[in-house]
């Protein structure tokens, strides 16, 4: 049994982390691309996106989605995605004595996906990170699957421990 793939994928990514001084930092990733040639492709060759269907989250926050189903909206023609998170580095919560003891820092993020299999998908997340120095909890609102709003919580553990 012999198969031979024949496709060409062109992609472009722009990213940066911008320091905003006392107001924290903003990180973003913009990525897009398309298949120039799709003569012989298999599902494994599609552009897959890092989704999540569990309560546990990856630490790759600027390249992943919190509530997007795995593989259901993989692209076989074109895609555009954007991820941005603003880390306030305690700017807000350090003024609240009991929360300051948690060493938690606030994060707000937005994530978008458009491709030939999904008209639109949006996520907005509100997170507390560095809880006790190692944990992150996100509350996520998602819109785009069946034109319904979904929400959920995810938990992440700092992988540098």
Q: Would you say residue 68 has pLDDT above 80? A: yes
Candidates 107, 115, 65, 66; CA nearest to 90 is 107
Per the CB < 8 A criterion, the answer to whether 113 and 73 are in contact is yes
Q: Residue 142's pLDDT is what?
A: 96
* pTM summary value: 0.89
pLDDT given at position 80: 98
What does the pLDDT look like over 80-110, one tens digit per residue? 999 999 999 877 777 787 777 777 889 999 9
CA distance 57 to 125: 12
Residue 62 backbone class (left: φ over 0; alpha: ψ -120 to 50; beta: rest): alpha
**pLDDT (tens digit, 9 = 90+) per residue, 24-59?**
999 999 999 999 999 999 999 999 999 999 999 888
Q: How high is the pLDDT of residue 122?
A: 97
- Residue 73's nearest CA partner among 10, 154, 12, 142 is 142
Cα(11)–Cα(104) distance, rounded to whole angstroms?
Answer: 36
CA distance 65 to 74: 13
Structure tokens given for 121: 């998908």
Count of Cβ atoms closer than 10 Å to residue 89 Cβ:
20
């Amino acid at each position: 049994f012999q198969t031979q793939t024949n496709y060409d994928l062109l992609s472009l990514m722009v990213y940066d982390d911008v320091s905003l001084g006392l107001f924290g930092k903003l990180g973003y990733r913009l990525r897009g691309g398309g298949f120039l040639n799709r003569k012989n492709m298999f599902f494994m060759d599609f552009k897959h996106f890092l989704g999540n269907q569990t309560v546990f989250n990856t630490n790759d926050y600027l390249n992943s989605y919190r509530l997007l189903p795995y593989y259901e909206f993989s692209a076989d023609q074109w895609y555009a995605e954007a991820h941005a998170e603003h880390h306030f580095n305690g700017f807000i919560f350090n003024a609240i004595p009991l929360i300051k003891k948690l060493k938690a820092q606030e994060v707000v993020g937005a994530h978008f996906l458009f491709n030939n299999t999904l008209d639109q998908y949006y996520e907005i997340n509100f997170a507390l990170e560095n809880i006790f120095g190692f944990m992150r909890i996100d509350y996520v609102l998602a819109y785009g699957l069946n034109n319904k709003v979904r929400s959920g919580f995810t938990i992440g553990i700092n992988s540098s421990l």
